[in-house]
Structure 1
Amino acid sequence: MKHPLPLQALRAFVEVGQRGSIKAAAEALHVTSGAVSQQIRLLEERVGTPLFTRERQGLRLTEAGARVHPTLLAAFAQIASASEALEDLAGRQTLTVSTVATFAAAWLVPRLGRFNGRYPQIEVRVEATSALVDLRRDRVDVALRHGLGEYPGLQATRLMAPVLVPVASPALVAGQPPIATPADCLRYPLLHDTDRADWPLWLAAHGAPGDARAARGSAFEDDFLLIRAAEAGQGLALVPQLYAHAEIAAGRLVQVLDLPWPARFAYYLVTRPDAAARPAVQAFMAWIIDEAQADAPSSQT
């Protein structure tokens, strides 16, 4: 009787085939890239044929690999589903939540203790990433995403629409003429997110004349980096009020004008229709909607 193929190697094969990248598969499996490469080499040696071809854009399944990959992918999905059913039978339920790091740190994680206290039998695993996720492939039960609510084939519930406020380090504006109008912000360096659209839109929404300075200045991919740069006195930042609340309360930042402006995108609770039928997912969805509604007066105009 032949020895069965190693389960770890088969799992690595499925993840690499799905993602087209050793690095991406390693991140999904929470192991090193070297460990994934070793498992792929082991599997190819055991079956005696290449399963991937190396290309400039990444890895592509060979004809042999493509023939078996869909079956193995479905098999691991069934294993995951059966594992969830066994955990539910044991009274222990798991829930995987995907969101961006900034929202997790500033809003979700500080409140998560209340959910844990209400549902101690549900274990929540938070995955913080700004990358797109495939809820089924990545075995994510709930995603909290910032967007326009357009998620084809998924169930999306609007949670909140944060407002943007202009903030600065107290040291930056100390001893300077007061900022009395939106146009006064242009006397300072402006800090941006990566698309550099918020400052020009905010200034235009409040009647400031067009100015090339509105699109200039350092840009940051993450809102927390933007807030840290403002704290360091590098310029004025336009940031979601809910992210800067603690810094403003502690005096590390000041809101230079009381002119909140609705962000273009809202936060949505996104899940697969089949996942929404799970009791653990239903409990989490009901809880987070309640939390968002409780915050509505401070997070919306």
Structure 2
Amino acid sequence: MSRTLPPLVALRSFESAARHLSFKDAAEELSVTPSAVSHQIHNLETFLGVRLFHRMNRALRLSGAGEAYVLKVRMAFDQIEQATRDLTSAAEADVLTLSAPPSLTATWLVPRLKGFRERFPSFDVRVKGTMDDIDYGRDTVDASIRYGYGDWQGVEVEHLSTERMLVLCSPALLRGGVPLERPEDVLRHPLIHSECRLTSWNDWLRAAGVPDAETPGGFRFTHSAHSLRAAADGLGIALENDLMAADYLADGNLVVPFVVDFVVPRPAGYYFVCPTENLLQPKIQAVRAWVRAEFRISDELAMARPSKTAAVG
């Protein structure tokens, strides 16, 4: 059955002009000219066969018919808007967008996503590797694994893991004849720096009791994944956390040359972060529980790993 309906653009112009009682303000809201608004309303009045506005010298007033009509037009717009919101919300319910630091994404998150997919096959998972602050509304991100101190405001923050820093090098570097048995020995080797890491070599050396040390030349990388690769290739010594280094240690491509018994003051860590209003969404509850469990497993494996993985000799 065909419907007798006025053009939608004319109805939008009418509703906006009725709300503002101004063609100029309606035009600004709709990004058109005032004459375009006036033209659309004239077409609507012609279509309906009634006058919707009384036009006075410097004022605009709704007619009786206009007042009655705009109420029903707004109700119809509200229903269309709600129907659209319901449809898009249902379509987005199975889309999960998670952000995480790029190196953590590459070395830790991606190898575990197969398990998430097997457990939650209905989710369309999208991962954004970034260290930037997230605007959850603008960036269309549902939740994040963030690296830092957990002091973000206006969001839900759950601590996942505190990083434990390790001195790391390739097995070949240990066979090079230059001692690497105690903290001060790292100054005999090229140092590999990760600019994204909140604990620097200078922080670590101060905690080790080697203050004001001049660190030797070496390499600087933006991301930990590159620093780990450089250390595995024998370019120097890296300072990274055990979570990032786990696969390299398991494969024997990196080793821990000596044991330390100190902790760097105010260590950074990893946190699950999401908008508070998202907490009860099924997809957020699912990924939060999964991430929490995976970090717990990683921490347990790290604690069970021998603290010294290589012997000098």
Tell me the TM-score normalised to structure 2 length. 0.64
Report what 2:291 is aligned to.
288
What letter corresponds to residue 165 of structure 2 in structure 1?
A: L
Aligned partner letter, 1:165:
L
Alpha-carbon distance in 2 for matches of 1:113, 1:289: 16
Residue in structure 2 matched with residue 60 of structure 1 by the alignment: none
Alignment-derived partner of residue 85 in structure 1: 89
- Out of 274, 277, 280, the position equivalent to 2:280 is 277
| SS in structure 2 at match of 1:149 | coil
Q: How does 1:1-301 map to 2 (within 5 A)?
A: 82-87=86-91, 93-194=94-195, 198-213=200-215, 216-259=217-260, 261=263, 264-299=267-302
Alignment check: 8 A CA contact 1:95 1:125 kept: yes
> Equivalent pairs: percent with the same residue?
32
Q: Classify 1:241/1:195 alpha carbon distance in 2 versus 1 (closer, same or farther; 3 Å).
A: closer
Give the AA of the match of 1:116: R
Q: How many angstroms does 1:98 deviate by?
A: 0.8
**Distance in 1 separating the partners of 2:288 and 2:218:** 39
Partner SS, residue 127 of structure 2: strand
Q: CA RMSD in A?
A: 3.0
3-state secondary structure, aligned to 1:179: coil
Please tell me the residue identity of whatever aligns with 1:126.
Answer: V
What is the DSSP-based 3-state SS (H/G/I as helix, E as strand, rest coil) of the residue aligned with 1:213? coil
Shift of 1:184: 1.0
Q: Secondary structure at the match of 1:138?
A: coil
Q: CA deviation at 1:82?
A: 3.9
Measured in 2, the distance between the counterparts of 1:258 and 1:297 equals 19
Q: Secondary structure, in 3 states, of the residue corresponding to 1:127?
A: strand
One-letter code aligned to 2:225: F
Residues 205 and 213 in structure 2, CA contact (< 8 A), matched pair in contact too: no
Q: 1:293: Cα distance to partner?
A: 1.9
Q: Could you say what secondary structure the match of 1:212 adopts?
A: coil
**5+ residue gaps, structure 1:** 5-45, 49-76
What is the CA distance between 1:87 and its match in structure 2? 2.7
Change beyond 3 A, Cα 1:103–1:128: same
Give the direction of change, closer, same or farther, for the CA distance of 1:293–1:251 in structure 2 (3 Å limit). Answer: closer
Change (3 A) 1:222 1:231: same
* 1:226 counterpart SS class: helix
Shift of 1:283: 1.2
Equivalent AA in structure 2 for residue 204 of structure 1: R
Deviation string, structure 1 residues 231-289 (Cα, Å, up to 9, x no partner): 22221110111212222222222212223755721111000111112111111111211
Aligned letter for 1:198?
S
Q: Which has the larger radius of gyration?
A: 2
| Distance in 2 between residues matched to 1:125 and 1:111, nearest whole Å | 14
- CA shift at 1:3, angstroms? 9.9
Once the two structures are superposed, residues 193-212 of structure 1 have per-residue CA deviations (whole angstroms, 9 ceiling, x without a partner) of 22795212212222235311
* Contact preservation (8 Å) 2:146, 2:270: yes
- Provide the C-alpha distance between the structure 1 equivalents of 2:241 and 2:276, rounded to a whole number of angstroms: 30
* Structure 2 Cα separation of the partners of residues 194 and 296 of structure 1: 24
CA 85–236 in structure 1, closer or farther in 2 if over 3 Å, else same:
same
Give the whole-Å Cα distance in 2 for the aligned partners of 1:207 and 1:95. Answer: 46
Aligned positions, number: 228
| Contact 2:180–2:257 under 8 Å retained in 1 | yes
